Amino acid sequence: MFDTLDACLTDCRDRLIRAPRDRKSPMHTPVIVTADVDARVMVLRAFDTSAWALRLHTDTRAPKATAVEADPRIAVLFYDKGAKIQIRARGVGAIVRTGAEVDAAWNASTRFARRCYLGEGPGAGSDAPTSGLPPEFEGVEPDEAQLLPAQENFALLKITLTALDWLYLAHTGHVRAQFTRTEAGGAVRWDGRWVSP
């Protein structure tokens, strides 16, 4: 089944294509680790197959935005328990705050999703349990005018993948492959090798 490096790389690509499109995909919510050794689960919003780049949404005020801007190294962990496939990836992150792609992502989000950017920001202290939302938006969908101040807090986290570590867990013997990104003439190529699990 996974007896060639091309099959393993194709499996990586196909899973990353499906993950942002299918909310039920186990790889829809990977673990993102920033260079400050902080980890969090995030929703994968898009995968660019030609650039091998992931797109996620973030708050400009979140500690991870500051961490990525200070040191863009990122690790990503995907796991599909049913398929017994783990993908560990490394990449270079960028916080994108303005531009057509940011505007398109903002406009494609629901108003309920966009209201998350109305609060004080991730990590703000509180004397009581809180969603971080202003009280008038608890359980309420804001209108477009009410969301205007939130847009300045919205950004994209883009991760250009530079290395992949693909692992298939099998009772007959695990199979593992690693891939390193190279570019020639603007095209992305992955050099692979088999490694012991």
| Domain spans, the chain | 5-105+158-195
Q: Tell me which CATH code domain 5-105+158-195 carries.
A: 2.30.110.10
32-73, pLDDT tens digit by residue?
999 999 999 999 999 999 999 999 999 999 999 999 999 999
161-185, pLDDT tens digit by residue?
999 999 999 999 999 999 999 998 8
**Strands in the chain per DSSP E:** 31-34, 38-41, 46-48, 53-59, 73-80, 85-96, 154-168, 175-184, 187-195
